């Protein structure tokens, strides 16, 4: 039986006509391309020389855990299924605002924004003045493409504490204003963030606004700062900011020399 299976695998005609093996081959290539793009060289080697199970292992241990759906937007929070079950049990017994908030953060980080929203709203129903919950609900609504609903929440948070969440709430507010076509106000917020932080997320989006205003020199300064900082950044930071680094490279190529 094993010999027959190996013989089938070695038959290229069989691989491209059998639906199961065709799907497995496509999946294998998908994971290989992802590993190469993310510079996961060891994984790429094992996926290339392995078959099926290695790609599946990569999918569950690296790809799924990369939080690709968040596209570079971060919130703190544990991500394990055990932690979710633990919080759900605590909510059942205690119904505490903080546990609803923590569960919302986990769903947010996993990219499950529709699941995060009711958690944040439940937390606010139990503690309407919590600034962290307001901020994270605002960010959640922004990712759900509902910036008009996110705006008053993020505006209130930033008015109370401009440095909230180390500038992440202010960045979310700037993104909200950009989505609402309030570009002048967004520009001022991005400039404030860049003056106080070195986040690629802020510098790249500020550069995009400069380009929209036909100010390529100002855009170039921000983009070159991002690319130069990336060279010297630790591995964990480069992996976290890779979305913005790719955008910076793409924008840099568009600039006139």
Last residue of a domain, one of 171, 204, 229: 171
Q: Looking at residue 16, what is its pLDDT?
A: 55
CA distances from 2 to 5, 50, 55, 77, 257 (A): 5, 17, 21, 45, 60
Q: Is residue 164 part of a domain?
A: yes
Residues 37 and 114 in one domain: no
Q: Is residue 77 part of a domain?
A: yes
Q: Looking at residue 211, what is its pLDDT?
A: 95
Distance CA 256, CA 215 (A): 11
Please state the pTM of the whole predicted model: 0.70
Distance CA 50, CA 127 (A): 52
Question: DSSP class of residue 17?
Answer: T
Q: Is residue 199 part of a domain?
A: no
- In this structure, the number of other CB atoms found within 10 A of the CB of residue 166 comes to 11
Q: How far apart are the first and last CA of the chain?
A: 63
Distance CA 225, CA 16 (A): 47
Distance CA 249, CA 244 (A): 9
Structure tokens at 124: 């606010």
Q: How many domains does the chain have?
A: 2
Distance CA 62, CA 55 (A): 10
Question: Which range marks the domain in which residue 48 is found?
Answer: 2-66
Q: Is residue 184 part of a domain?
A: no
Q: Looking at residue 83, what is its pLDDT?
A: 85
- Top pLDDT among 229 and 239 is at 229
Q: Looking at residue 1, what is its pLDDT?
A: 44
Structure tokens at 203: 């510098």
Residues 85 and 167 in one domain: yes
Last residue of a domain, one of 66, 100, 120: 66
Distance CA 68, CA 65 (A): 8
Give Cα 68 distance to the centre of its chain: 5
| Over residues 157-178, mean pLDDT | 96
Q: Is the pLDDT of residue 79 over 50?
A: no
Q: Is the pLDDT of residue 197 over 50?
A: yes
Q: What percent of the chain has pLDDT over 90?
A: 60
Residues 58 and 26 in one domain: yes
Q: Is residue 198 part of a domain?
A: no
Report pLDDT digits (tens) over 33-78.
Answer: 877 776 677 777 877 777 667 777 777 766 655 444 444 554 544 3
Domain at 156, CATH number: 1.25.40.10
| Over residues 99-111, mean pLDDT | 93
Q: Among 7-11, 76-80, 160-164, 251-255, which is the least confidently predicted range?
A: 76-80
Q: Looking at residue 71, what is its pLDDT?
A: 47
Question: DSSP class of residue 70?
Answer: G
Q: Is residue 193 part of a domain?
A: no
Distance CA 194, CA 196 (A): 5
Q: Looking at residue 15, what is its pLDDT?
A: 54
């Amino acid at each position: 039986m094993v010999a027959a299976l190996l013989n089938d695998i070695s038959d290229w005609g069989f691989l491209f006509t059998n639906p199961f093996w065709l799907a497995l081959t496509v999946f294998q290539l998908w994971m290989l391309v992802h590993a190469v793009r993310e510079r996961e060289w060891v994984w790429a080697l094992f996926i290339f020389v392995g078959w099926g199970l290695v790609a599946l292992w990569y999918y569950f241990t690296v790809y799924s855990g990369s939080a690709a759906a968040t596209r570079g937007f971060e919130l703190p929070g544990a991500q394990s299924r055990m932690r979710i079950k633990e919080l759900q049990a605590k909510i059942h017994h205690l119904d505490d605002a903080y546990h609803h908030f923590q569960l919302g953060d986990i769903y947010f980080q996993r990219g499950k924004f529709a699941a995060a929203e009711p958690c944040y709203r439940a937390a606010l129903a139990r503690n309407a003045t919590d600034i962290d919950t307001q901020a994270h609900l605002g960010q959640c609504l922004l990712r759900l493409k509902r910036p008009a609903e996110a705006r008053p929440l993020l505006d209130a948070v930033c008015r109370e504490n401009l440095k909230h969440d180390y500038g992440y709430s202010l960045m979310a507010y700037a993104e909200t204003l950009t989505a609402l076509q309030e570009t002048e106000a967004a520009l001022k917020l991005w400039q404030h963030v860049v003056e106080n932080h070195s986040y690629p997320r802020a510098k790249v989006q500020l550069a995009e606004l400069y380009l929209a205003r036909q100010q390529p020199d100002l855009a170039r300064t921000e983009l070159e700062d991002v690319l130069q900082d990336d060279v010297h950044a630790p591995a964990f930071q480069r992996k976290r900011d890779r979305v913005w680094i790719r955008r910076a490279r793409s924008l840099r190529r568009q600039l006139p020399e």
